[in-house]
Structure 1
Amino acid sequence: MSLLTKPRSDSKEGPAKWAGLAKRAVLAVVSLAVVVLLARWARGLEPVQEFMVAYPGHSELPAGAPVGLPAWLGWQHFLNAFFIVLIIRSGWQVRTTARPKAYWTRKNTGLFKTKNKPSKISLELWFHLSLDVLWLLNGLVFIVLLFATGGWMRIVPTSWDIIPNALGTALQYASLDWPIENGWVNYNALQVLAYFTIVFIAAPLAAITGVRMSPAWPKGNAALDRIYPMEAARKIHFPVMLFFTAFVIMHVALVLCTGVLRNLNHMFAARDDAGWLGFGIFALSVAVMVAAWFLARPVFLRPVAGLMGKVSK
């Protein structure tokens, strides 16, 4: 009897799933349309118009703030994007893989020799942790260059008017009458807040919670475990990953919709024009990330992991 009824339930599962997705898509479109209509209605009100004249969306930069984007920011942007994409992919694999196809154990020799037996972790977790280390090293270089060149003044709020300016910018985006931008000179208030959050809040949270969940955390230390329990790290780490994912999607969408050639030249070619050089570098970087995404599989990871430890089934 169960053999006869199982195909029937399976056959219903597919259409039901697609129907659910269609309902969510319609709901999302309707919600977006309501937001746009409300924002456009609000912008017609005289008090709102006066507010937007007073707070057009940009805060004044401190004296001495650099103008333009340096070349080092271009390769930093690529490396950050490269690592973040693969970290999100590998993190999702760690979270969803019930039975790993391979495991990795570090070599207990040389500087890494300890009295305790090295712990065995899944190949997916090894890849995720390796990417984390590279991302953190790249982030350290970024922070040093950011403060050494004064670039921090472009992404760190230095005035409280950043809040009303961010509200004005959000209203412009929501009404689809987007703000006039000149990222070569000054980011708008929402961009400043987003970049500050990513660099100085989300990234440290990802690192701190990741260390707590990794094999690097001291084992058997009851005091440390009580001060910083594993459950707390897990409750923070996954939402932070979702925040990074949402930021990447929104960031790419706005780059493509608000003057794609000029934006890509700013980000990748350190130029303030609408030429095609930045687009070419961007296309090449996307190709590299797609290739890395494809190669991030056990069959390709095993030889690399084997150089740093023992890989077993």
Structure 2
Amino acid sequence: MTETTTKASRVADWVRERRRLVGWTALISVIAVVVVVLVARWLRGTPGGADFIETYPGIVEPPAGTPVGIPAWLGWQHFLNSFFLLLIVRTGFQLRSKQRPPGFFTRDNTRWPRTKRAPRRLGIFLWFHLWLDALWVLNGVVYVVLLFATGQWLRIVPTDWAVVPNAISAALQYASLDWPTENSWVVYNSLQQLAYFAIVFIASPLAILTGLRLSSVWPPEGALVRAFPEKLARRVHYPTMIFFLAFVFVHVVLVLTTGAVRKLNQMYTARDTDDWLGFAVFAASVVVMAVAWVLAKPPLLKRIAAKGGTVRG
């Protein structure tokens, strides 16, 4: 058996294993969803469950001075976040597949600031992943600065412990398929607020920190290496990506099933209206992301990477 045949066999085995895993995951997920819905509906039907939802309807009144509405810059941030995350997740799965990269990039030290270490050779997918990470972080920094500069942080940062029981109430209402009444143009429900807070201030910093640890930026030896082992970073980085995927899935489902036309206008055109402009902008953004997905193939990536170094393979 030749080496090429052996590699092809390993890849085929990996694909079959992944398909089997996806199948079992889908089946278990469907069963889990059915069970959760039935339990939630039963709980809502009990006197205690009904009283709990009446006491905690799922929304905490925002603090005085909280801005109403979603500004235009937040719509742009939403698109850029989606765009970068889509490609980051794609390259992340490519890296986890353990397949040999179709090319390798080495930085040109005559065109970039010199360092004491020799340039590190990167697989083309890792090179693209790191650049996407850098752009996503830059976008995130701009977002956080604007968030606090405009007071929008009051919409996603909890300021009252009542957010906890109200979030549980909102979760119970969603799970029972009798969803809470809300107007996200004015205030997010407590579950949304906690989810957005977790994404912005917990999951994103974790993704950045662990990504830095796994990148060539992190020192190869010294106290930082001992303080934060690479193995630990890998164990945290991948589940963080799965958390992002789960959030995006639930977010998209809820947007499309709770008044999609109005929600898309709020998110993409900064208007609380029922016309179809927001849907058109959303559709255009999906086309842009689809085109980027198709174009982000090794031939184009190699040509772009070659502008900053040497690409072989």
TM-score, normalised via structure 1 length: 0.91
Distance in 2 between the 1:106 and 1:16 partners? 36
- The letter of the residue matching 1:235 is R
| Cα pair distance change 1:263/1:125, threshold 3 Å | same
Alignment partners' CA distance in 2, 1:39 and 1:288: 39
Other-structure match for 1:81: 82
Return the alpha-carbon distance in structure 1 between the equivalents of residues 156 and 21 of structure 2. 40
Mapping of residues 1-313 of structure 1, within 5 Å: 25-219=26-220, 221-313=221-313
User: Does the 8 Å CA contact 2:104/2:121 hold for their aligned counterparts?
Assistant: yes
Partner of 1:279, secondary structure, is helix
Counterpart AA for 1:242: I
- The count of corresponding residues between Structure 1 and Structure 2 is 300
Structure 1 residues 301 and 145 mapped into 2: Cα distance closer, same or farther (>3 Å)? same
**Unpaired segments ≥5 residues, structure 2:** 1-14
**Per-residue CA distance 1:129-169 (angstroms, 9 max, x = gap):** 00000001000000000000000000001110001000110
Cα root mean square deviation, aligned: 2.0
| Structure 1 residues without counterparts, runs of 5 or longer | 1-13
SS in structure 2 at match of 1:145: helix
- The AA in structure 1 aligned to 2:268 is F
Percent pairwise identity = 55
Instruction: Look up the equivalent residue of 1:73 and give its one-letter code.
Output: L
Residues in 2 aligned to 1:214 and 1:239: alpha-carbon distance in whole angstroms? 17
**TM-fit CA distance, 1:36:** 1.3
Deviation of 1:114 after TM superposition, in Å, equals 2.3
Cα distance between partner residues in 2 of 1:304 and 1:27? 42
Q: CA deviation at 1:95?
A: 1.5
Structure 1 runs of 4+ with >3 Å offset: 14-28
Q: CA deviation at 1:277?
A: 0.7
CA shift, 1:22, in A, is 5.8
Identify which range, 256-265 or 39-48, moves more after superposition.
39-48
Q: CA deviation at 1:229?
A: 0.9
Change (3 A) 1:87 1:16: closer
Mapped partners of 1:282, 1:118: distance in 2: 41
- Letter of the structure 2 residue corresponding to residue 191 of structure 1: Q
> Matches of 2:166 and 2:141 in 1, distance apart?
30
Q: Give the whole-Å Cα distance in 2 for the aligned partners of 1:155 and 1:85.
A: 23
Is contact 2:84-2:136 (8 Å) kept?
yes
Measure, in 1, the Cα distance between the counterparts of 2:179 and 2:195: 17
Displacement of 1:24:
5.1
Displacement of 1:30 after TM fit?
A: 3.1
Distance 2:49 2:187 in 1: 24
Inter-CA distance 158–84: structure 2 relative to 1 (3 Å threshold): same
- What amino acid is the match of 2:117? N
- Over 3 Å counting, the alpha-carbon distance change for 1:34 and 1:60 in structure 2 is same
CA–CA separation in structure 1 for the residues paired with 2:185 and 2:165: 22
> What is the SS of the residue equivalent to 2:171?
helix
The answer as to whether partners of 2:111 and 2:308 remain within 8 angstroms in 1 is no
Q: Distance in 1 between matches of 2:39 and 2:116?
A: 65
Q: Which amino acid aligns with 1:281?
A: V
In 2, the alpha carbon distance for the partners of 1:65 and 1:111 equals 45
